[in-house]
Structure 1
Amino acid sequence: MEIRTATDDDWPHIYRFYSQIMSQGTSYAYPETQTLEEARPWWMEQPPGRTVVAVEEGEILGSAKMGPNRPGRGSHVATASFLVDPARRSKGVGRALGEHVVDWSREEGFRGIQFNAVVETNDSAVRLWKSLGFEIIGTVPEAFDHPEHGLVGLHVMYLAL
């Protein structure tokens, strides 16, 4: 599996699973019915951020976006978001993207990585981030309206680099 910087030509391929994941409403508090062009700025990061794709045999399996969590005096802490094509889950794509983000954040000189909103019922994501060394440092109760579970918490997770 190759992880490389996403190009403008990759966006329609990312959008195919981006729109599917957002319409499920179980892991992101993003608008659920965005068009291709409306969704682009929500995912395709501009410098100093970066968007990458995980590719195998020419097919995009997943994507991650990363960059500073806050501007100015908070820019020494990174953040990131991840998408794995639902048809490609449980094949190590999320782990590969997570490891890439951790390595990139270290190389770029960030002091840590903060995930601001990991849905507490997203067990696979919570398990993955913990296995990569992230800790839950707090949970905002009832901050996410899950379509199946109702109001659930959003974890704030952190990894010191």
Structure 2
Amino acid sequence: MIRIMTKLDFVEFWPTFEAIILAQETYAFSPSMNCDEAFSLWCESALVAFVFEEKGKILGTYYLKANGMGPSSHISNCGYMVSADARGKGIARQMCIHSQEVAVEKGFSAMQYNSVVSSNQVAITLWQKLGYNIIGTIPNGYCHGQLGYIDSYIMYKQLSAV
């Protein structure tokens, strides 16, 4: 089930969130961020945040927000996280499809991911299967925890007519 994320949900998901940012493999978030700072970033600064819950356990989350302001506010942006033990079960796919539906309901006509780390082939493959295209490369745009400086991609999908 996908539903709106609460503060208690975020606190429950925090160990996964923290592990992801500490690994420095996918998100450009400070590894020293605490739970309250992360909640503010993920939930309060977003338009909306959701959880993927199964049998009372939070297995994933995503946020939806505008990618820009004013003349660029018709393009949405999302970030997704899935717990390590739930990966490979189609949760990110379900959340991405859900996020696109919510984005259209909220009046967005496109979705853009600003920094998909080039080593994250699982995500890149999934996003491409769901219709996203790489529209740009940021050379050495990410300092990976293990690989050092590597490229990141800007990925984009038109959701509806402008």
Q: What's the TM-score bracket when you normalise by the shorter of the two chains? A: over 0.9
- Cα offset, 1:39, TM superposition: 1.6
* TM-score (norm. length: structure 2): 0.94
Q: Map 1:59-70 to 2 at 5 A.
A: 59-70=57-68
Match of 2:18 in 1: 19
CA RMSD of aligned residues (A): 1.1
Matched AA of 2:107: G
Match of 2:32 in 1: 33
The C-alpha deviation readout for 1:84-138, integer Å capped at 9, x for no partner, is 0111100111111111111111122211001001001100010110011000000
1:123 to 111, 115, 121: 121
CA distance in structure 2 between the partners assigned to 1:46 and 1:26 by the alignment: 23
Q: Secondary structure at the match of 2:103?
A: helix
Unaligned regions of 5+ residues in structure 1, if any?
none
- Cα offset, 1:79, TM superposition: 0.4
CA distance in structure 1 between the partners assigned to 2:129 and 2:109 by the alignment: 19
CA distance in structure 2 between the partners assigned to 1:109 and 1:80 by the alignment: 15
CA distance in structure 1 between the partners assigned to 2:45 and 2:152 by the alignment: 26
Match of 2:99 in 1: 101
- Cα offset, 1:46, TM superposition: 4.6
Q: Secondary structure at the match of 1:101?
A: helix
**Does 2:5 align with 1:6?**
yes
Match of 2:77 in 1: 79
Matched AA of 1:53: V
Whether the 8 Å contact between 1:3 and 1:52 is mirrored in structure 2 is: yes
Number of matched pairs: 159
Q: Indicate how the Cα distance of structure 1 residues 66 and 45 shifts in structure 2: closer, same or farther if over 3 A, else same.
A: farther
* TM-score (norm. length: structure 1): 0.95
